[in-house]
Structure 1
Amino acid sequence: MATQISLSDESDFKLIRAREVTSSLCKHIQSYNLEHEPMPWLGEVLSYVSEDIACVVEEIGNQR
């Protein structure tokens, strides 16, 4: 039997933001030649996405 998990509005927002950021990043990478456009900001963006997902995972873990 699956456990019903309820996310806070903040976690819901973080998941949506992570999805939108990664989707935009994927489109950006696919449309540009990376040899001509370095992305020094990529690590920082992925760090923010990772933090958002970690917060959601923690909230889910606290509900179990």
Structure 2
Amino acid sequence: MATQISLSDESDFKLIRAREVTSSLCKHIQSYNLEHEPMPWLGEVLSYVSEDIACVVEEISEKR
């Protein structure tokens, strides 16, 4: 049986933010023609999401 870990409010916020950002990004990509719309900001957005997830993973690792 899996062990349940309680996350901090900050980690909960980061997970929710990562979910919302990636959901919005997916909708944006699906609704626009990417051949005509460059997305120079994409790397920065994905890096931001990656940092949020890395913080949550670190917290989980510390609590195990």
TM-score by length of 2: 0.98
- TM-superposed deviation, 1:4: 1.5
Unaligned runs of 5+ in 2: none
- Identical pairs, percent: 95
Unaligned runs of 5+ in 1: none
Once residues 18 and 4 of structure 2 are traced to their aligned partners in structure 1, the CA distance between those partners, rounded to angstroms, is 22
Question: Helix, strand or coil: the match of 1:27?
Answer: helix
Which stretches of structure 1, 4 residues or more, deviate above 4 A after TM superposition?
none
- TM-superposed deviation, 1:39: 0.1
- TM-superposed deviation, 1:2: 1.5
Once residues 37 and 12 of structure 1 are traced to their aligned partners in structure 2, the CA distance between those partners, rounded to angstroms, is 33
- TM-superposed deviation, 1:43: 0.1
Once residues 55 and 32 of structure 1 are traced to their aligned partners in structure 2, the CA distance between those partners, rounded to angstroms, is 31
RMSD of aligned alpha carbons? 0.5
